[in-house]
Chain A
Amino acid sequence: MDVFGSFALLLAFICAVFAFAGGIAAIITRHPLLVKSTRQAGIATCCLIFVATFSLEYLFFSDNFSAAYVVAHSNRALATFYKIAALWAGQEGSLLFWSFLLSIYVFSVLIAYRNKNGELMPYVGVILAGVQIFFLTLNNFVASPFKALAVPGAHGAMDLVARGDGNGLTPLLQYPEMVIHPPNLYSGYTGFTIPFAFALAALLARYPGEKWIHLTRKWTMIAWGFQTAGILLGAHWAYAVLGWGGYWGWDPVENASLLPWLTGTAFLHSVMMQEKRGMMKVWNVWLVFSTFLLCILGTFLTRSGVVSSVHAFAQSSIGSWFVGFLVVIFTVCLVAYFKNRDYLKSENQLDAIVSRESSFLFNNLILLVSCIAVLSGTLFPVLSEALSGSKISVGAPFFNKVNIPIGLLLLFLTGVGPLLAWRKTSVESLKRNFAWPLIVGVVAGAVIFVLGYREIYSLICFSLCFFVTATIAMEFYRGAKVIRVRSGASYLTSAIELTMRNTRRYGGYIVHMGMVLIFIGLAGAAFNQNVQKEMQPGSSMQLGKYKLVLQSFDSKPEANYTGLRLNVEVFVNNKPLMMLYPERRIFETNGETGTMVAIYSTLREDLYVVYAGQSPDTKLPVIHAYLNPLVKWIWFGGVIVVFGTLVALLPNRRAVLVLSGAKQPVPEPLVHGMTPSATFREGHD
């Protein structure tokens, strides 16, 4: 199966080269047969990559310990669930996994548009094949996952060997999130290849109008949804597994996943400017280019170890390949832009400072500032070494100082932007739309202040959360009222009907609502508390309203680790609440340790208890307990964001009005995102 897999990969490489070179020839000659055959070569490339990936999984499932990659990342005792995850546990496999996910996208695009957009698709095919060639080069010639296990034998030759059992999967990865977090994040990274390919193709082909934006909107949303889910799952994994009490540490690899998310979010918003007003064309093209470049940069940072990180894989030579690829893409984008920039002329100008346009501009500006701050902070050791010779890193205070105000500004715009009219917003409409939300926000802020929560950023954040929630609620209420008047259905049914009629707009509001919940959770971090204490059985520690009593500790041998477990009883007001079992696991295969955090999670706060280690003097266990308010809202908000993204992906339901007998005009097929009914107010989307 290893020979089969590597052969499939080699064949995939050849097909991709044909799809690329033949595609260029097809663009020049416009020969229909050549167009068709290169498309089929593209499809074949994807299928062969699927075959290769499945053969690597087969090696894992058949416990084939003659394959080096399987020996390194699996063993017989490993649960089936984690044998799937072992695919992306190391460098070679995760690069193959990149190719695999990219192929799913490429395959879908090539099939879905096989008889459409004839002018554009050959360009798209060539660009996608180009990206695939890069990853297939790595898969085939630089980091092949199908290498046989070999040891240096006599006469300097390598002898093939097979082992009885493998090294096993790193214990930190043996956690359910680790099975779903990387696929989500990678699906985000790879997914942005599609809008990138369409944008570059449209620019190269001078494809008329905003059609590429309509074509790629769904793909961008899918990639964005995966990226968001991937980032949050990663944060949850860090929180639940690493045992340091937090979920985000501004680690280089975390930052790498945030960067394309920031530009991708900016892109999702600014394309609306182009659709509605024909503005920001250059900006949009460069945003999507940057997003893709940042995706590759993110993969590069994870793989190369250029910036030291908890995630970074061993130092390896693979970095130079990525740098080369980044340079090539950037050059291609730059040349395409300078050659065809007249095609990107803006049709309109900014009309007024209080308008939807300017809210989008500011949204984009601050997302970009955040992106630049995070990027420069992440690369600071590299940049400072190159510029001044001394290697300097920056830590959390740098990132927080910039990004907290940016987050609050964004939150503010989340509430304001969607309710501003295009071109110019009148004072009356400002009053009508914002009077109540403003009152809600200010009152909520005052109440929170009186309750004694006076951390300034958190106070502003909570106040803004109420404000934004009120604006969103008002939007649903007003729209639902109109439908209710006509159909007589309940408010809830009307709101659902409203959402289904314009999924893009109301799905967007749901995403915004999810972000509000996430912000509530983030603001809670200002009130985190923690205590650390050496405990003997019977002794206790107090944290907020919780009293933790160590009842006993024991050690329990399990299949492939020994678990050192603390039995901690939790009391509230001297009434027993529950037992928590923080644990340390010592893995036999490699002596590594793993922390199993015990969390008691409520909407109000998380009680987070870690077995931090043993005191060297007394050999007694040390407990580190954290009280983290509102953390659960982050995960809950994440679910809402993903749900909203899915809603926004649904096609609009046409307005079918239930006026019996009366002849209804058949609604025109809707232009993207336009509201069918004139009863919705001025220029809303």
Chain B
Amino acid sequence: MKKQAKFGIGVTVIVVSMAFLAWLGYGESKTYYHTIAELQTLHGSDLSHRIRVGGTVAPGSIRRFTGRVDFVLDGEGKSLPVSYVGSDPLPDTFVDKSQALVEGRETDGRFVAEVVQAKCASKYEAAPGGTVATPSTATR
């Protein structure tokens, strides 16, 4: 066999197997970004995806239970009930009216979040020009 052909086979094997692994990893970790309003228009298989939603924590909505924290996210005039089931304590920045990003899946009208990120909007804007935005993260 010509050495160019041998080399070509080597290259193909590497590229194809990496593409396959990338595809596997993509399937495992893809997360859809949606707004709260969009979430309510999703149907069927779109709802089974891992989803990431952002919004403002509704004042007075945070209720803590053992093993879970419930709260309501507001955005674009809509609201979304969320249950956080992750094991890490929620970040200190997670308070009423803070900006929060939640990641998880929707089940029976509630959003079950495994990850919650929060940053306090007022502090974030106070720095003129730009400062390092550091959302604290709680993951499981």
Q: Name A residues whose Cβ lies closer than 8 Å to a Cβ of B.
A: 68-69, 71-73, 89-92, 143, 147, 167, 170, 172-173, 244, 305, 310-314, 316, 350-353, 358, 361-362, 365-366, 369, 373, 381, 390-402, 405-406, 409, 532, 590-593, 612-617, 622, 624
Contact = CB atoms under 8 A, between A and B. Distances in A.
A353 B3 contact: yes
Residue picked from A69, A392, A624, most chain B C-beta under 10 Å: A392
A170 B32 contact: no
B31 A590 contact: no
B88 A314 contact: no
Contacts of A369: 14-15, 18
Nearest to B24: A401
A392 B88 contact: no
B33 A393 contact: yes
Contacts of A350: 3-4, 7
Nearest to A613: B89
Given A313-B131, A313-B133, A401-B24, A622 B89 contact: yes
B21 A401 contact: yes
B75 interface: no
A401 B22 CA distance: 6
Given A316-B130, A365-B15, 19 more contacts: A72-B131, A167-B126, A167-B127, A173-B132, A313-B131, A313-B133, A352-B3, A365-B14, A366-B14, A373-B18, A373-B22, A381-B33, A390-B33, A394-B25, A402-B21, A405-B21, A591-B123, A613-B88, A613-B90
Contacts of A390: 32-33
Contact of A398 (B25, B126, B129, B131): B25
A393 B131 contact: no
Interface string B2-24: 01101100110011011001101
Given A310-B133, A395-B29, A397-B25, A612 B14 contact: no
Q: Is the interface of B mostly helix, strand, loop or mixed?
A: mixed
Q: Is the interface of A mostly helix, strand, loop or mixed?
A: mixed
A68 B130 contact: no
Given A365-B14, A369-B15, A593-B92, A391 B131 contact: no
Interface residues of B, number: 46
B130 to A, nearest CB: 4
B21 to A, nearest CB: 4
A172 B22 contact: no
Contact of A617 (B7, B64, B137, B139): B64
A352 B10 CA distance: 13
B48 interface: no
B22 A402 contact: yes
Nearest to B69: A616
Contacts, number: 142
A401 B18 CA distance: 8
A68 B14 contact: no
A400 B127 contact: no
Nearest to A586: B92
B135 interface: yes
A615 B89 contact: yes
Contacts of B31: 392-395
A244 B129 contact: no
27 contacts: A72-B127, A72-B128, A90-B131, A91-B129, A147-B129, A172-B132, A312-B133, A314-B131, A353-B3, A390-B32, A391-B32, A392-B30, A392-B33, A394-B29, A394-B31, A396-B29, A398-B22, A398-B25, A398-B26, A398-B30, A399-B25, A400-B25, A401-B28, A402-B21, A406-B18, A532-B87, A617-B64
B66 interface: yes
B18 A314 contact: no
B77 to A, nearest CB: 21
A83 B44 CA distance: 55
B7 A361 contact: yes
A612 B18 contact: no
A409 B7 CA distance: 16
Contacts of A362: 10, 14
B51 to A, nearest CB: 10
B41 interface: no
B24 to A, nearest CB: 6
Nearest to B11: A365
Which 10 A-B pairs have CB atoms at the shortest separation, nearest pair first? A613-B89, A401-B25, A398-B25, A395-B29, A391-B33, A91-B130, A397-B29, A314-B130, A313-B130, A397-B28
B129 A68 contact: yes
Contacts of B123: 590-592
A449 B134 CA distance: 42
A615 B65 CA distance: 11
A90 B14 contact: no
B23 to A, nearest CB: 9
